[in-house]
Amino acid sequence: MNTEGRKSGISLFGKPSPSPLLISPTGLNGLLHHRGDIALAKAAASAGIPFCLSTVSNATLEDVSTEAGGRLWMQLYMMNDRNIARDIISRAEKAGYEALIFTTDANVFGRREWDLRNYRQPGKLTARNILDIALHPRWVSDVMIPHGIPLFENVLDYLPAEMRTVKGGVVSLPGMLAPDISWDDLRWIRDMWPRKLILKGVLNVADARQAANIGCDGIILSNHGGRQLDSCVAPIEVLPEISQAVGEQLTILIGSDVLKAIALGADAVMIGRPTLYGLAAGGQAGVEHALALLSEEIDRVLGQLGCHSLQQLNSRMLIKNAP
């Protein structure tokens, strides 16, 4: 079968994109590389794909817009003080962000025991981790010297003065998240935000339909990277039924195996860890390399499946319920 001239492009919210990939919102990127959020956004802009900035980023949303450009999306946590959300929404609109992502799948934090094992007390690393830092002088010279540990720039003004360090922010922020978010909050956001609105954390058809009814433009099927609730359903397990129910009304995003997800009904795929690995290893160039590897793999698998484009993928190419 002739598979020359393969194309991996998609249309995302009415705009062409050369790849089905988006860079997910992640926090503390400045700990991996100095100005890590800027490096990620620049790499995304270079690749022509959207970059999603976290509420708890280490660069302001204005700096990312000014220094990186490209297709920028803003992720929003709902805090107990709703004025924080109002402020971020207003700033993101003024800075030209294309879309707003309202996150609902982590407002009550999991225990994250793997994080706890790295600290002897809040903000104080174990001796093993201190030794590990000493073995990475390039990271120390990039992040720690002369810049110091980065801060949570987007919400800095809302933290108590004594808690504006990274240690203070890490301790304070989980308690600032609103545990009582509801559909009324989504309606409130929809009324304020004039551009594309995406609800993150959907894992069932009923919630997907409600998001569509309220006026969302897209949804992200997510269990927050599997880092919160051990027994939570995997997004790709519920993707087919959600796609069948609301695929004509909503753009469906997911973080998973790229071609499998698209074959099951996703419109695009969000990635976090691969680009963070690239960021830690090589800054912006490392992120660009990670994206290039993924794009090459997407193209190769399309050819191996006998497809010329992502639009030719379908669920019949997957083996379901295999023994």
- Same domain (yes/no): 250, 151: yes
- Same domain (yes/no): 135, 192: no
- Same domain (yes/no): 195, 153: yes
Asked whether residue 323 is assigned to any structural domain, the reply reads no
What is residue 45's predicted lDDT score, i.e. its pLDDT?
98
- Same domain (yes/no): 228, 301: yes
Structure-token pair, residue 126: 């174990």
Helix, strand, or coil here: 57? coil
Taking the C-alpha atoms of residue 227 and residue 80, their distance in angstroms, rounded to an integer, is 22
The DSSP output letter for 111 is -
- Same domain (yes/no): 21, 93: yes
Q: For residue 23, which amino acid is it?
A: I
Query: What is the tens place of the pLDDT at every residue in 209-231?
Result: 999 999 999 999 998 876 667 77
What is residue 312's predicted lDDT score, i.e. its pLDDT?
95
The DSSP output letter for 71 is S
- Same domain (yes/no): 165, 229: yes
Containing structural domain, residue 123? 109-144
Q: Which residues have a catalytic role annotated?
A: 224
Asked whether residue 283 is assigned to any structural domain, the reply reads yes
Alpha helix ranges (H) inside 95-203: 113-116, 127-134, 137-139, 166-176, 183-192
Bond preceding residue 146 cis, omega within 30 of 0: yes
Residue finishing a domain among 129, 144, 159:
144
- How many alpha carbons fall within 13 Å on the CB side of residue 236? 18
CA distances from 74 to 154, 183, 277 (A): 11, 19, 22
- Same domain (yes/no): 151, 283: yes
Distance of CA 157 to the CA centre of its chain: 23
What is residue 188's predicted lDDT score, i.e. its pLDDT?
98
Asked whether residue 322 is assigned to any structural domain, the reply reads no
Q: For residue 117, which amino acid is it?
A: R
Structure-token pair, residue 114: 């793997």
- Same domain (yes/no): 121, 22: no
Helix (H) or strand (E) holding 66: helix 61-67
Long-range contacts of 187-192 (CB under 8 A, 24+ apart): 187/214, 188/82, 189/76, 189/85, 189/89, 189/100, 189/102, 190/214, 190/215, 190/216, 192/86, 192/89, 192/90
Residue finishing a domain among 92, 118, 144:
144
Task: Give the CATH number, domain containing residue 239.
Answer: 3.20.20.70
Asked whether residue 2 is assigned to any structural domain, the reply reads no
Structure-token pair, residue 77: 């946590």
Asked whether residue 3 is assigned to any structural domain, the reply reads no
CA distances from 307 to 22, 68, 104, 172, 317 (A): 22, 34, 36, 50, 11
What is residue 321's predicted lDDT score, i.e. its pLDDT?
65
- Same domain (yes/no): 233, 301: yes
Helix, strand, or coil here: 181? coil
- Same domain (yes/no): 183, 83: yes
What is residue 115's predicted lDDT score, i.e. its pLDDT?
74
Asked whether residue 164 is assigned to any structural domain, the reply reads yes
Asked whether residue 40 is assigned to any structural domain, the reply reads yes
What is residue 222's predicted lDDT score, i.e. its pLDDT?
93
Give the predicted TM-score (pTM) of the model. 0.94
- Same domain (yes/no): 177, 251: yes
Asked whether residue 1 is assigned to any structural domain, the reply reads no
pLDDT, averaged in runs of 10, over the chain (323 residues): 86 97 96 96 98 96 98 96 96 98 85 79 85 92 88 89 76 84 97 98 97 98 78 92 98 94 97 97 98 97 94 90 57
- Same domain (yes/no): 178, 231: yes
What is residue 319's predicted lDDT score, i.e. its pLDDT?
81
Residues 225/255, Cβ–Cβ less than 8 Å: yes
State whether the Cα torsion 234-235-236-239 is positive or negative: positive
- What is the number of domains present in the chain? 2
Residue finishing a domain among 85, 118, 144:
144
